[in-house]
Structures are given as structure tokens and as C-alpha cells.
């Protein structure tokens, strides 16, 4: 018997991401900026710096500091989100820093800070992944030296089926084993710089998830690469 193919609410195949778009240079004032979207999930990121870290006691003489700030616009979700930081956004800001820092040659900028501001304009799940993808592009656009790119995508387990790039409706899936959401960020070389998981899964399934993430991340990377190339005018 061939296994029944799992039907996704928007008709995508299990391993199919939503249409991705990326554009570099969307905020003229910033030193680097980019937009990245997975379908209806749209993130923009702007980089300011490297610049002198203030206050002075926050300076690190050994290496520069990466400071990310993830923010959801109040009208980016169905029920208006309270403006300003909350515990969730604090955490996402921090994991975004951790996701980006391994590829960033920030040690070249002692006593300096690089600010990355991420705003979610429109949310339909996977916002942190879109934010990280936009931020990585914006950092490259700002000319901060990077060893390689990072690309982020969410893998989901809906009941027993693995799918790529969750939408909100899938995040709220309740049948069988319910939904497990696993945002993963990998370097171009395939190393993990960020992973989170919420749901229920065993270690065997988790290994499958990582395989799938590697494949999907390559697709994200191609979109990022294309956007960066397009931003260069001869």
C-alpha cells in the first residue's frame, strides 16, 4: 500500500515552501536592508553600523556586538498585537542574534555595535525564519564581513506528517499528535546556528526533520543569493 499523501490546507506538497521573495536595499537610510517573505509572512530588516557602542561601559574591546531587535507591527496579526517588546519578542531577538553571529566576522569591530532591526509587516507563521533570512541579507548588504550565509525555514510535524514552511492554520493543527513547529537556521555549509521546537516528537523523527531542513534551506539560500546579486548594479 502506498502511503496517503498528506493534504495541506493550502494545497502545497509536504516539502514545498510557500513562494519566497527577497529584495535587498528596501530602507535607503540604513547601511544595509532587505525584505524576505514566505507567502503572506513578510519581514523587513535594516542594519545600522558598525558604529561606536554607547554607553561606553557596554563596549567589548575583544569583539564587536551584534544587537537584534525583532518586532511585530500591531496590525501584522488578526487580533491587534500590543505594540512594544514582550517576552516572546525578547526571546526571538536573542535567538536571531545567536543564529547570525556564527557567520559574522564581528571580531573585526572591537568596541563597536551592529544594530539589526527586524519588523514583521504581515504574519502567517514562520515570522522568525523570515526575519532571520531578511537580517542575513541586510547584513550582507551592509558589507559586514561574513564567512557564509545563513538560511532559515520552519519544519512542521502535523500528526505524523513532516511538512516544510508552516502556515498559521497548520500551527493550530490539532488532529492526531497535533502540530510540532521546528524553526531551524543552517549555514550554507549545513551547520545548525539556531533550532527551536514546540510540540511532540521522538528523536528518530527529529533526524528526518533535520534532513528535510537541509534540503529546504538550500532553496531559501538560492532566493537570498539571487536577491543579493540583483542588488548589485554595474
Partner 1 sequence: METSKITGDRIREFLEKGKRFDDRKPEEFRDIEIELGVSKKAEGSARVRIGKTEVIVGVKMDVMEPYPDSADKGNLIVSAELTPMSSERFESGPPKFPAVEIGRLTDRAIRESKFIQMEKLCIKKGEKVWAVYIDIYSLNDDGNLVDAAGIGAIAALKSAKMPKYNEETGRVIYGELTDKKIPLSKDIPIVITAYKIGNFWLVDPTTEEEDISEARVTVGATPEGIISSIQKGNSRELDIEDFENMIDMTEKVRKKVFSTIEKSLD
Residue from 206, 219, 225, 231 in contact with partner 1 (CB under 8 A): 206
Q: How far is the CB of 96 from partner 1 (least distance, A)?
A: 11
Does 87 interact with partner 1 (rule: CB under 8 A)?
Answer: yes
Q: How far is the CB of 153 from partner 1 (least distance, A)?
A: 14
Interaction with partner 1 in 156-185: which residues (CB under 8 A)?
182
Please classify residue 54 by burial: count the beta carbons closer than 10 Å to its beta carbon, then call 0-12 exposed, 13-18 middle and 19+ buried.
exposed
Torsion on CA atoms 152, 157, 158, 160, rounded to nearest 10 = 160
Does 197 interact with partner 1 (rule: CB under 8 A)?
Answer: yes
**Looking at residue 188, what DSSP letter applies?**
T
Please choose, out of 13-21, 22-30, 45-53, 196-204, the segment that lies near partner 1 by the rule CB under 8 A. 196-204
Does 215 interact with partner 1 (rule: CB under 8 A)?
Answer: no
Phi-psi region of 182 (alpha: psi -120 to 50; beta: other; left: phi over 0): beta
Residue from 19, 74, 98, 108 in contact with partner 1 (CB under 8 A): 98
Does 95 interact with partner 1 (rule: CB under 8 A)?
Answer: yes
Cα–Cα separations (whole angstroms), residue 45 to 8, 26, 134: 30, 9, 5
Residue from 33, 124, 152, 187 in contact with partner 1 (CB under 8 A): 187
Say how far apart CA 164 and CA 70 lie, in whole Å: 23
Does 77 interact with partner 1 (rule: CB under 8 A)?
Answer: no
Residue 96: count of CB within 10 angstroms of its CB: 25
Q: How far is the CB of 192 from partner 1 (least distance, A)?
A: 5
Does 210 interact with partner 1 (rule: CB under 8 A)?
Answer: yes
Size of the site for partner 1 (CB under 8 A): 32
Would you say 37 or 126 has its CB closer to partner 1? 126
Strand order in the sheet with 32-38: 20-24, 32-38, 41-52, 112-122, 65-72
Residue 202: count of CB within 10 angstroms of its CB: 7
Task: Note the residues at the interface with partner 1 (CB under 8 A).
Answer: 79, 87-88, 90-91, 94-95, 97-98, 101-103, 182, 187, 190-203, 206-207, 210, 214
Amino acid at each position: 500500500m502506498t502511503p496517503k499523501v498528506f493534504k495541506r490546507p493550502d494545497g502545497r506538497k509536504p516539502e514545498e515552501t510557500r513562494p519566497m521573495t527577497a529584495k535587498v536595499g528596501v530602507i535607503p537610510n540604513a547601511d544595509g536592508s532587505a525584505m524576505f517573505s514566505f507567502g503572506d509572512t513578510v519581514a523587513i530588516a535594516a542594519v545600522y553600523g558598525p558604529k561606536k557602542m554607547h554607553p561606553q561601559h557596554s563596549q567589548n574591546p575583544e569583539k564587536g556586538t551584534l544587537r537584534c531587535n525583532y518586532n511585530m507591527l500591531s496590525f501584522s496579526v488578526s487580533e491587534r498585537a500590543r505594540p512594544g517588546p514582550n517576552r516572546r519578542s525578547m526571546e526571538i531577538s536573542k535567538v536571531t542574534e545567536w543564529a547570525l553571529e556564527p557567520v559574522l566576522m564581528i571580531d573585526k569591530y572591537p568596541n563597536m555595535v551592529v544594530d539589526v532591526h527586524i519588523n514583521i509587516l504581515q504574519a502567517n507563521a514562520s515570522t522568525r525564519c523570515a526575519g532571520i533570512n531578511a537580517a542575513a541579507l541586510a547584513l550582507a548588504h551592509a558589507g559586514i564581513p561574513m564567512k557564509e550565509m545563513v538560511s532559515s525555514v520552519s519544519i512542521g510535524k502535523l500528526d505524523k506528517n513532516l511538512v516544510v514552511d508552516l502556515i498559521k492554520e497548520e500551527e493550530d493543527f490539532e488532529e492526531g499528535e497535533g502540530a510540532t513547529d521546528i524553526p531551524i537556521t543552517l549555514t550554507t555549509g549545513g551547520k545548525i546556528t539556531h533550532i527551536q521546537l514546540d510540540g511532540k516528537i521522538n528523536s528518530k523523527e527529529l533526524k528526518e526533520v533535520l534532513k528535510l531542513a537541509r534540503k529546504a534551506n538550500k532553496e531559501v539560500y538560492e532566493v537570498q543569493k539571487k536577491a543579493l546579486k540583483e542588488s548589485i548594479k554595474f
